[in-house]
Amino acid sequence: MIETPHWQFDLEVKPDGWRFPAGASWIAGWIWSPQNRLLTDIRCWIDGRPFLGVWGLPKPGLDERFLHRPGPPYLGFTLLVHPHAGARLLRLEVRDQTNQWTEIFRTGISTAPDSAPAPTMPGLPALLPDLVAPLLRLQPRRAGAPLAALSDETVSSRLGEPLDCLPVPPFHGALEEPRESGWIRFGRLSITGWLAHRQRPITRVTAMVDPLTEGALLHGIKRTDVDGVFADLPGRENSAFVGHVDLPADLAVPALLKVFAELDNGEKHLVFAKRFTPRIIAGSEAALPPLSRATFLSAVLALRGAAKRHGLPGCGWRDLRPALGPAWRAYSAEAPPRTDAARLAPELPAPRETRNPFRVLVVTHNLNFEGAPWFIFELARHLAAQPGARVRVVSPQDGPMREVFTKAGLPVTVVDVSAMWRADSETALHAAVDAAKIPWSEHDLVIANTMVAFWAAHAAARAGVPSLLYVHESAAIRRFIEPLMPAALFPVVESAFRAATRVVFTAESSRRVFAYLGDRRNFCLLPSWVDAGRVDTFAAAHSAASLRAKHGFGADEVLVINIGSVCERKGQHVFIQAVELLREELAFTHPGKKIRFVMVGAREGLYLETLREEIRRLGLGELTRFIGETGDIFDFYALADVFVCTSFEESFPRVILESAAFRRLIVTTNVNGIAEMIGPGEAWLVPPGERYRLAEALKLALAAHFAGDRAKAESARAVVMQKYHEARSLPRHAALARAAAGS
């Protein structure tokens, strides 16, 4: 065993006397930190060539000896190196949770005379277009770190030779996602593939990227395309696996995914190891600085210096000149434009005379029980109550909100514009919308609800009808729309922001995301609202006992309720992780108390299925419960002893307004517009995706509940009533609608 000030490790597999034969050689062992450092990567340098290892492998016996439990984290590691002829020095480096690389071992080596020569290093011109943006994203995440050090890290991460592993017979299978890039949605990596064992049943498949979190994948799903080559393979018909794993908040690249299979005899095997570069398609990402040639040049200079230090060819300006254009285009495609000229729109003058009838067409993206349809329902109902107003509703997707609109006297038409998402040109997109034969010109105003309804703003403009585009999203257009339509049509979505008479945001944080499209000065900021009268009427008419009986909750249960459509964006997986962290502590600090963690808004699908599997794996079934999407959402505000929002991304969520109006204790992420609505005096605020911070906040909220401390709840109610009472906000939206129609 070898010891350093922070690490203990052993090299169990290595060449005798560090004399390497020609070809590939294995180095393997285990590593542990008595100083509680957490291994997040390992690499071996042979002279100037880095080789990336596979770390975090189970070491039965050693894991229990050092961790006093089976893990994770797991202590084993392995590296596959290809020493070149004449190599003289081997260095072993590890990275910890602070993302610092530390050398822990070095030795002189020799190689066989017939070893291959050192391969040619890639030239900087070929690498440069893919290095500028990662370096600039790294800067805000490592505040205070020298740019030269960050550029060294960026360059070395691209030079490392990965060790990817495939199943070894009697295992057979394929990892289909991720490949070189991994799709990341709200801090989770999507994983798909298939796996079977020729001799024994596979009882469980798990995956890891975070060294502390091992997640179960759904395995045993029907697969019909394995018969050809593996016609005699047992279990091939149900060999597919699919699922997600959590990523650490400050993940370095290239990241390592490990997939393990457990057999019916208790054996656990590594079946896949894959290095990948995360590609975030939904959720927060370190922002690039605004587009700037000076910023770009400083990054290029830093990368050039790092490339020289790594001995890369092509570092002269004459060599680099052809790569500057592609590098600039790659950087400018992602960097946000400067927004100095983006100001809010001037207030539209009120119409000289009230137009009667006032015909309004509301286009909403769907009719589900979600925040945005409820928002537009309340606005449509308010407009319909105005003298002479007539409101009708159009949606490309049916859902339970249709009945809500209809009962309020708001007729609904479901139209088919699905061909629009398959269009390959702007002309084809507009043709698909026209085929729905929506009578745009018969209305005085079109209100498009959510960015997904951008097409309605275009159609209104082409028909000469004023429009309002209500944007509830806080994600950049290109990332949000990428899974829905070809990249060539992204500018069509962007141009809808300029086509609308007014683009309406309810949160300043959301407006800033789209500020670069506000050069027409048609953006406006109007706060959302809460129907305080309806909340108070409901609370007075329904007793806690009757609601508990209605939904099957015991009179003595303490209910921690997470309300929101069960989907990755809402972060219920983090909620479940926090429950697991709290399970033993709450039983100790509040003995005899029955605390139940409830998630309202369940919808069938892969995400819900993976949550159920996680709950089964962690043994949390008695503590948790799912409730489907429902129109009786006020029941659950009234039932909640503690209300929880775990969203990764929100604009101005009504669940916060309504839970505050119900005087609930609130634990919430502080994303986007939430931080504009309430502060630490009204709620326990936590960063998104951080299960430890969430668990701590839940613990404090429960302590306040048991102590009878209602201070934050009363303060939240007071703030929301002062700022967002419907009597203050809704008339402003109605006045904007009238003014826009008159424009």
**pLDDT per residue over 233-267, tens digit each?**
988 899 999 998 888 877 888 999 999 999 999 99
* Per-residue pLDDT reduced to its tens digit, 80-98: 999 999 999 999 999 999 8
Mean pLDDT across the stretch 712-729? 94
Mean pLDDT across the stretch 159-182? 93
Q: Residue written as tokens 């005096």?
A: 681
Q: Could you tell me the two tokens for 133?
A: 């943006």
Task: Say what the pLDDT of residue 118 is.
Answer: 92
- Dist. CA 108–CA 93, nearest whole Å: 15
Lowest mean pLDDT among 319-328, 348-357, 368-377, 414-423: 348-357
CATH topology of domain 532-724: Rossmann fold (3.40.50)
Mean per-residue pLDDT over the chain, rounded: 92
Asked if residue 278 has a cis previous peptide bond (ω within 30° of 0), the answer is no
Mean pLDDT across the stretch 622-647? 95
Spatial CB neighbours of 438, under 8 Å, sequence gap ≥ 6: 361, 394, 413, 415, 459
User: Is it the case that residue 388 has pLDDT exceeding 70?
Assistant: yes
User: Which residue from 413, 403, 401 is spatially nearest to 438, judged by alpha carbons?
Assistant: 413
Confidence of residue 284 (pLDDT cuts 50, 70, 90): low
* Per-residue pLDDT reduced to its tens digit, 17-66: 999 999 999 999 999 999 989 999 999 999 999 999 999 999 999 999 99
Task: Say what the pLDDT of residue 353 is.
Answer: 64
- What are the extents of the domains in the chain? 1-119, 124-336, 358-529+731-742, 532-724
Task: Say what the pLDDT of residue 354 is.
Answer: 64
Q: Which residues in 606-716 belong to E strands, given as ranges?
A: 624-628, 642-645, 665-669, 684-686
Specify the DSSP class assigned to residue 519.
G
- Alpha-carbon distances of 135 from 146, 278, 480, rounded to whole Å: 12, 14, 23
Per residue, the 3-state secondary structure of 420-485, as one string, reads HHHCCCHHHHHHHHHCCCCCHHHCCEEEEECHHHHHHHHHHHHCCCCEEEEECCCCCHHHHHCCCC
| CATH code of the domain occupying 1-119 | 2.60.40.10
User: Is it the case that residue 487 has pLDDT exceeding 60?
Assistant: yes
Residue pair 31/13 in contact (Cβ under 8 Å)? The answer is no
Task: Say what the pLDDT of residue 341 is.
Answer: 46
% of residues, the chain, pLDDT over 70: 98
Mean pLDDT across the stretch 701-728? 95
Mean pLDDT across the stretch 393-397? 96
Residue pair 676/578 in contact (Cβ under 8 Å)? The answer is no
Specify the DSSP class assigned to residue 653.
-
* Per-residue pLDDT reduced to its tens digit, 577-604: 999 999 999 999 999 999 999 999 998 9
User: Is it the case that residue 572 has pLDDT exceeding 50?
Assistant: yes
Task: Say what the pLDDT of residue 339 is.
Answer: 60
Identify the three-state secondary structure at position 619: coil
Q: Residue written as tokens 């986007």?
A: 672
The pTM score is 0.78
Identical fold at 124-336 and 532-724? no
Lowest mean pLDDT among 72-81, 219-228, 444-453, 557-566: 219-228
Confidence of residue 127 (pLDDT cuts 50, 70, 90): very high
Residue pair 640/659 in contact (Cβ under 8 Å)? The answer is yes
CATH topology of domain 358-529+731-742: Rossmann fold (3.40.50)
Task: Say what the pLDDT of residue 215 is.
Answer: 87
% of residues, the chain, pLDDT over 90: 72
| CATH code of the domain occupying 124-336 | 2.60.40.650
User: Which residue from 231, 208, 235 is spatially nearest to 219, judged by alpha carbons?
Assistant: 235
- CA gyration radius for the chain? 29
- Alpha-carbon distances of 5 from 32, 36, 73, 103, 373, rounded to whole Å: 12, 12, 20, 12, 58
The full DSSP string for 199-224 is: SS-EEEEEEESSTT-EEEEEEEE---
Identity of residue 483: P
The full DSSP string for 569-593 is: GGTHHHHHHHHHHHHHHHHHHSTT-
